């Protein structure tokens, strides 16, 4: 797989995972607290993609921001995992 394909695939997978988590956090009785492990995993995956230069920090932040805009009740995705 070439670099561009890896980048595009990673961006699509990250966005899909965040979307699924945002939808699930709206539906589960305990909200995002019921998905803590999955959210931590998505955060770690985002950081790793940036550290490996697959995504830039700006791209990763934009993906998280876009999901936060589409799912305003998913407060966990409002802050970028790269800010900490």
**Which residue stretches of the chain have pLDDT < 70?**
29-32, 83-84
Cα separation, 51 vs 54, in Å, equals 8
- Angle, vertex CA 22, rays to CA 30 and CA 25, nearest 5: 10
**Which long-range CB contacts under 8 A does 2-7 form with residues at least 24 apart?**
6/54, 7/54, 7/55
Q: What pLDDT was estimated at residue 26? A: 82
Asked if 38 and 21 count as a contact pair (C-beta separation under 8 A), the reply is yes
DSSP single-letter state for residue 1? -
Q: What pLDDT was estimated at residue 32? A: 62
Q: What pLDDT was estimated at residue 4? A: 92
Q: What pLDDT was estimated at residue 78? A: 85
pTM of the model as a whole:
0.88
How many other β-carbons are positioned within 10 Å of the β-carbon of residue 68? 19
User: What are the structure tokens assigned to 83, written together?
Assistant: 């800010």
């Amino acid at each position: 797989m070439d670099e561009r394909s890896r980048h595009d695939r990673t961006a699509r997978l990250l966005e899909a995972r965040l979307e699924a988590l945002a939808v699930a956090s709206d539906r589960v009785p305990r909200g995002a607290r019921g998905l803590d492990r999955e959210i931590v995993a998505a955060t770690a995956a985002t950081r790793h993609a940036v550290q490996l230069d697959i995504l830039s920090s700006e791209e990763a932040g934009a993906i998280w921001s876009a999901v936060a805009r589409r799912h305003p009740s998913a407060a966990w995705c409002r802050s970028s995992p790269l800010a900490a």
